[in-house]
Amino acid sequence: MMSQTVQDAINKQIHAELGASYTYLAMSAWCEQHSFTGSARWLRLQSQEEYGHAMRLFDFMLARNARLDLRNLEQPRGEYKTLTEIFETAYEQEKAVSGQIEALYELVFREKAYPAVVQLEWFLNEQVEEEKTCREIVAQLHLIGSDPSGLLEIDRGLGSRAPGVTTKSGQA
Ligand code: FEO
């Protein structure tokens, strides 16, 4: 049985992943309402990925016969000024999640919860990819500034994202 400390920490991470899913969903709605339909699609898929991250940990907890402690989700931010602000916020969120995963990894290692260590290695790799993807999108948006044709092109590119793939262009 995993220690209470480990169970609490993983429950907290499940909450964080579901919160990220909810935030991306609100961002997707904003984009759809501002005619950035490609970005809306990308963000909706990202929301689903975050849900998938939560479920990975959820299933792991069940497999370890641990106690799941699902909590209320905060209302996600719904208002943004620009598409760039959306992806800047997403990038900041991903960096924060990376910090959470690293702290969790350190904790489960210290607690000698080795199966959890192995689980979290997947998350460490995933965060490297997610940070990279968001950083590249933000860099592209900074390059084009508020040029409408550039924005539309980026939006179209984001719309080509395929389900289950975490790259900015939608290609593996
Ligand atoms: Fe589940 Fe984007 O971190």
Question: Cα(50)–Cα(166) distance, rounded to whole angstroms?
Answer: 11
Ligand 1 centroid to Cα of residue 13, in Å, is 10
The pLDDT, as a whole number, for residue 165 is 53
Question: Cα(71)–Cα(92) distance, rounded to whole angstroms?
Answer: 23
The pLDDT, as a whole number, for residue 170 is 44
SS3 72: coil
Ligand 1 centroid to Cα of residue 53, in Å, is 7
Ligand 1 centroid to Cα of residue 156, in Å, is 23
Q: How far are the Cα atoms of 72, 107, 137 from residue 5, in angstroms, in the given order?
A: 20, 9, 37
SS3 3: coil
The pLDDT, as a whole number, for residue 152 is 96
Ligand 1 centroid to Cα of residue 149, in Å, is 30
Domain 4-159: CATH superfamily is: Ferritin, core subunit, four-helix bundle (1.20.1260.10)
Q: List, chain by chain if needed, residues with CB within 6 Å of any ligand 1 atom.
A: 17, 20, 50, 53, 94, 97, 130
Give the pair of three-digit tokens for residue 162: 């395929």
Question: Cα(10)–Cα(53) distance, rounded to whole angstroms?
Answer: 12
The pLDDT, as a whole number, for residue 166 is 53
From atom 2 of ligand 1, which residue's Cα is the shortest distance away? 94
Q: From first to last of the 172 residues of the chain, give the pLDDT tens digit.
A: 899 999 999 999 999 999 999 999 999 999 999 999 999 999 999 999 999 999 999 999 999 999 999 999 999 999 999 999 999 999 999 999 999 999 999 999 999 999 999 999 999 999 999 999 999 999 999 999 999 999 999 999 999 998 875 544 444 3
Question: Cα(170)–Cα(172) distance, rounded to whole angstroms?
Answer: 7
Q: Would you kindly state where each structural domain of the chain is located, as residue ranges?
A: 4-159
| Ligand 1 atom at minimum distance from 98 CA | 3
